[in-house]
Amino acid sequence: MQIASEKTIDSLAIDLGGYLGNDQINTIKRAYFYAEQAHEGQFRRSGEAYVTHPLAVASILSEMHMDPQSLMAAMLHDVIEDTGITKTAIKAQFGNTVADLVDGVSKLNKIKFSSRAEAQAENFQKMAMAMAKDLRVVLVKIADRLHNMRTLSSLPPDKRRRIARETLDIYAPIANRLGMNDVRIEFEELGFEALFPMRARRISAAVKSIRGNRREILSQIQTSIEACLEREELPSRTIGREKHLFSIYEKMRSKRKSFSEIMDVYAFRVIVDKVDTCYRVLGAVHSLYKPVPGRFKDYIAIPKANGYQSLHTTLFGMHGVPIEIQIRTEEMEAMANNGIAAHWLYKSSDDLPSNAHVRAREWVHGLLEMQARAGNSLEFIENVKIDLFPDEIYVFTPKGTIFELPAGSTAVDFAYAIHTDVGNSCVACRVSRRLAPLSETLQSGQTVEIITAPGTQPNPAWLSFVVTGKARSNIRHYLKNQKHSESVSLGRRLLNKALAGFGSELNTVKQENIDAVLAQTSLQSVDDLLEEIGLGNRMSHMIAQRLTAIAGVPGSPELPHSEQQGTLDIRGSEGMVMNFAKCCHPIPGDPIVGHISSGRGMVIHAGGCNNIADIRDNTEKCVAVSWDPDVQGEFIVELRVELENERGIVASLATTITRADANIEKISTVERDARFSIVNLLINVKNRIHLARVMKRVRIIKAVSRVTRVKSRKVKKVIKNTIGSH
């Protein structure tokens, strides 16, 4: 391919004459001269006038037969960033659409970022938003990056490596996602060469050294395929496919294969006139050579997420040589190489490009949804990267709708792919009509049914197995909001309890006092203050003092902790900012104390727990709490059962506990000697009365000699500093 920077505006105008009118070409020329004037006196690192870069970008887009507005935007894409010209000035000269395209492509250079990674992430976020308005933004950006990659050699090595890494991480996958295979391959080859020059040279030399040996075998296989198709009267053309350096390197690295193992596979592409012929060619090559079981893929019936369509099969060729064959129509070939750009390059075909366009738009709107829910730009880019590297699987809804998901996806990923609300409220799933765990990895072809229940919410544990960016960002978003509202609620209760000791409550505190405390703590709102208290980052007693203007006023009495309003009631439904200590497992009916743990909220301990003995009287770290009379839920408690060894005794113990309406969370056996064993159990009970009933039933078992509750287990680190075991 000709390097685009070699073109002049006149030679570009000649090329454009093949598909654009004179008036359109003149507007593009006008944009070029405007850019030339704007960039006057600016030079690239290679020494060329800067305007050669936008001209080269426009030339790349002209090869895709892009429309005049895209070509004008390509000419002007660096004007806003690198010169004093504003978006308004471009809008006045060339119209709203061109100005929006230029703005979408322009980099963020006026905002200070804490790191280069954050700058790249913000940059990509801006591009995603512009893409949602107009998909041409991404095509101009890709052409811009492609020319920069072609001219990398003039940059210093560290900058070269950084740009190459960003291209391989973001731009090559975007080109792939949009079906632009030719551009993706060039990105990968140029990026690989810049990032790993030594490896690229060695693989290139190895490929050249075996090319002569391969040529003869390639020719023999190609001749036999062509002869077979001619006999069957199937019009087609057969092309031998060269393996690219980066794909060879990636296969060697990811599949741990040697160079010779990868190069032993011979690849061909058969291109035919219509879809029906594709399947007839498949039958013909399967009769010529034996197919490898399980290696046939039909991407015509079920296209890839980027619109790619083809039949893939692997055959045992002569002398057992593996042969990979792709079979597709001319339109599919154009789509595979140009992707979304085929919308402009092959406008005569209405059906295919509109599909590519729809898929690209769906993807971009998915990006925007992820962006809205991501906590920051780095989290967003992490989610996007997950979505940009999918080996797709295809699964069905019970009604037969196909969903494409990345390999390794689970039922939770599938639920979020259907709709955010379905994901948030899913409780179980059926995979091919059988009940399955939500964490089970899905396989292509399975039918997945999601079971939802009102009032349920995402489980934080899902983050350990979901793989799609949409699922991850939605779960994080929900949990973040839930934790915020729970922290605010707990903070309000703690602060009102502390204020009651000073004869006040939050609703009666003067606004000027609240404003003064917010200024002192550098917080924006009362909710922020309450959240900080609820998370344990600020002490409610100290904030109450400041709010009532008692702190620092001479002679003001400070009421001791015991004289403050009663205690805080624990309802058992406080959620993520209220935890129950794992060292003593308190349950309703036990005397309890609340420990404020920074960043975690409140941790409830049993009153006699050894781990908080040293800080029980510290009013800044501990709060007087009691159980609400209507406390709800199930609470974990630990039991130690000593029993005689008998066949089936553990099963009978488990049955007894279950019959007493208690769930067993965990069971472990420690053998004491040949005759006696100790069984440790974690069980769920409602309160002390329920626990007493369970223990009574266990004692009745003949083999059981003793049942005790484990009330306080020493943690590795004393709680003076932090309670890390909760």
Give the distance between the most distant pair of CA atoms in the chain: 108
Domain ranges of the chain: 4-195, 206-349, 635-709
In the block, which residue shows the tokens 């929900």?
478
Confidence of residue 551 (pLDDT cuts 50, 70, 90): very low
pLDDT at 196: 92
Active site residue 40: no
pLDDT tens sequence across 187-201: 999 999 999 999 999
Q: Which residue has the higher pLDDT, 327 or 576?
A: 327
% pLDDT > 70, the chain: 81
- In terms of average pLDDT, the best of 181-185, 403-407, 567-571 is 181-185
Q: What is the distance between the alpha carbons of residues 605 and 607, in angstroms, rounded to a whole number?
A: 6
Q: What is the mean pLDDT of residues 510-536?
A: 80
Q: What is the distance between the alpha carbons of residues 383 and 394, in angstroms, rounded to a whole number?
A: 20
Confidence of residue 387 (pLDDT cuts 50, 70, 90): low
pLDDT tens sequence across 70-100: 899 999 988 888 887 888 899 999 998 899 8
Within 8 A by CB and 6+ apart from 242, the residues are none
Closest by alpha carbon to 429, among 463, 466, 394, 397? 397
Indicate the CATH number for domain 635-709.
3.30.70.260
Q: What is the mean pLDDT of residues 653-681?
A: 85
Beta bridge partners of 640: 680, 708
Confidence of residue 327 (pLDDT cuts 50, 70, 90): very high
pLDDT at 723: 36
Q: What is the distance between the alpha carbons of residues 544 and 512, in angstroms, rounded to a whole number?
A: 14
Whether the pLDDT of residue 256 is over 80: the answer is yes
Enumerate the H helices of 322-397 as residue ranges.
Answer: 330-338, 342-345, 351-373, 377-388
Confidence of residue 494 (pLDDT cuts 50, 70, 90): confident
Q: Which residue has the higher pLDDT, 645 or 483?
A: 645
Enumerate the H helices of 167-274 as residue ranges.
Answer: 172-177, 181-195, 197-231, 245-254, 259-263
- Please give the CATH topology (third level) of the domain spanning 4-195: Hypothetical protein af1432 (1.10.3210)
Whether the pLDDT of residue 348 is over 50: the answer is no
Active site residue 82: yes
Closest by alpha carbon to 244, among 198, 171, 193, 295? 193
**Whole-angstrom distance between the N-terminal and C-terminal Cα of the chain?**
62
The single residue of 15, 63, 81, 182 carrying the catalytic annotation is 81
Q: What is the mean pLDDT of residues 412-435?
A: 90
Q: Which residue has the higher pLDDT, 578 or 53?
A: 53
Q: What is the distance between the alpha carbons of residues 394 and 406, in angstroms, rounded to a whole number?
A: 9
Q: What is the mean pLDDT of residues 389-406?
A: 77
Q: Which residue has the higher pLDDT, 6 or 341?
A: 341
The single residue of 48, 82, 182, 382 carrying the catalytic annotation is 82
Q: Which of 473-487, 571-585, 631-645 has the lowest mean pLDDT?
A: 571-585
Confidence of residue 413 (pLDDT cuts 50, 70, 90): very high
- Please give the CATH topology (third level) of the domain spanning 206-349: Beta Polymerase; domain 2 (3.30.460)
